[in-house]
């Protein structure tokens, strides 16, 4: 632990906002009403074509969307109040059933749990608006609060992150008594921004796509140009690039964060983990023991992205061990 002096502190910790605020003010009233949103990913065969589906009102008043994404279908979302927030939220069985039932009404055929390629959940740091209101009814506005030298920002959406950041930095500068300066990010391009369309699937790298392609075509390692897995669009060069230029230091970094491989197909990601570990080990100078540990750690993490039916069918030993662990911890 380190003590770092500062003239102001920014609290931008999402659903953990209130726990940080109470480090400064133990009696601070809660600002955040955490809400979980779950998603499932299906094969494109359930909705051929390029069109998406948006259901404005489900049986309980939520909005449901089914969107073509990365040659898959993304189905979401739920709005479930959460009391105890976790760093790694897990979709609840009822949320999976809700998404499958409602999606089945509009797709070419009704998907089953066995058809789910990946299931994942996230937590929304919604701003409270009185007691008794469902999280689905809370606005997605953001809130900025200054308390005891602590500047807390919570709520909001991805689409308003720049405005939130500008307001937060301005508030932090006032608290720290720093000279005011104009914000320069309103029209600042993100790294890799380009007007040119890069070859698919490396287009996600934008201006860096050519460098990634050059790495794959260098010839030093022919496997760098080969897909990590037949069901995933990513190649070996992307793992090396992530290690060299994007600070990837683990298999989880590559398959769950630098690429959305885990979200696209959890089983394929688990099967690709040994190759990713080998590529990372070469780029980072790690040994065989490190690779074994990384594969095991990622597999344990990725199993939560499978439905119970797939977990029991494909990983029966792990499924039994996990069930026993849950019984003993209750």
The pLDDT assigned to 186 comes to: 83
Instruction: Write the pLDDT tens digit of every residue in 5-41.
Output: 888 899 999 999 999 999 989 999 999 999 999 999 9
What is the mean pLDDT of the segment spanning 269-278?
Answer: 98
The percent of residues above 90 in pLDDT, for the chain, comes to: 74
Instruction: Write the pLDDT tens digit of every residue in 211-253.
Output: 999 999 986 788 899 999 999 999 999 999 999 999 999 999 9
The pLDDT assigned to 5 comes to: 87
pLDDT tops 90 at residue 323: no
Which residues have CB under 8 Å from 228's CB, separation 6+?
A: 234, 235, 236, 239, 261, 272, 275, 276
* CATH numbers and ranges of domains, the chain: 12-30+138-175 (no CATH), 32-127 (3.30.9.10), 202-313 (1.10.8.870)
Instruction: Write the pLDDT tens digit of every residue in 121-179.
Output: 999 999 986 545 555 556 678 999 999 889 999 999 888 999 999 999 999 999 999 99
The pLDDT assigned to 330 comes to: 45
CB 91 within 8 A of CB 121: yes
Which residues have CB under 8 Å from 136's CB, separation 6+?
A: 35, 61, 62, 79
What is the mean pLDDT of the segment spanning 197-209?
Answer: 86
The pLDDT assigned to 154 comes to: 95
Better pLDDT: 320 or 138: 138
Mean pLDDT taken over the chain? 90
The pLDDT assigned to 48 comes to: 92
How many C-beta atoms lie closer than 10 Å to residue 303's C-beta? 18
CB 132 within 8 A of CB 150: no
What is the mean pLDDT of the segment spanning 77-94?
Answer: 92
């Amino acid at each position: 632990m380190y003590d770092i002096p500062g003239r102001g502190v920014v609290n931008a910790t999402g659903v953990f906002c209130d726990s940080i605020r109470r480090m400064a003010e133990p009696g601070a009233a809660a600002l955040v009403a955490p809400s979980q949103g779950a998603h499932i990913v299906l094969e494109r065969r359930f909705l051929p074509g390029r069109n998406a589906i948006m259901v404005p009102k489900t049986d309980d008043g939520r909005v449901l969307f089914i969107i073509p994404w990365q040659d898959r279908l993304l189905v979401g979302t739920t709005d479930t109040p959460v009391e105890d927030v976790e760093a790694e939220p897990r979709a609840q069985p009822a949320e999976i059933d809700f998404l499958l039932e409602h999606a089945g009404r509009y797709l070419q055929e009704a998907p089953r749990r066995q058809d789910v390629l990946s299931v994942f959940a996230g937590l929304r740091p919604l701003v409270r608006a009185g007691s008794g209101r469902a999280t689905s009814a809370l606005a997605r506005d953001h809130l900025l609060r200054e308390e005891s030298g602590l500047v807390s920002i919570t709520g909001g959406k991805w689409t308003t992150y720049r405005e939130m950041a500008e307001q937060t930095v301005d508030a932090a500068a006032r608290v720290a008594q720093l000279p005011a300066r104009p914000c320069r990010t309103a029209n600042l391009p993100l790294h890799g921004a380009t007007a040119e369309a890069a070859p698919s699937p490396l287009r996600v790298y934008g201006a860096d796509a050519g460098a990634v392609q050059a790495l794959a075509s260098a010839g030093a390692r022919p496997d760098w140009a080969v897909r990590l897995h037949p069901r995933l669009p990513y190649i070996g060069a992307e793992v090396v690039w992530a290690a060299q230029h994007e600070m990837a230091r683990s298999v989880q970094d590559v398959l769950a964060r630098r690429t959305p491989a885990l979200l696209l197909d959890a089983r394929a990601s688990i099967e690709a983990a040994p190759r990713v570990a080998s590529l990372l080990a070469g780029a980072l100078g790690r040994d065989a023991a490190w690779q074994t540990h990384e594969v095991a750690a990622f597999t344990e993490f990725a199993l939560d992205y499978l439905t119970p039916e797939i977990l029991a069918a494909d990983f029966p030993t792990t499924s039994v061990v996990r069930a026993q662990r849950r019984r003993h911890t209750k």
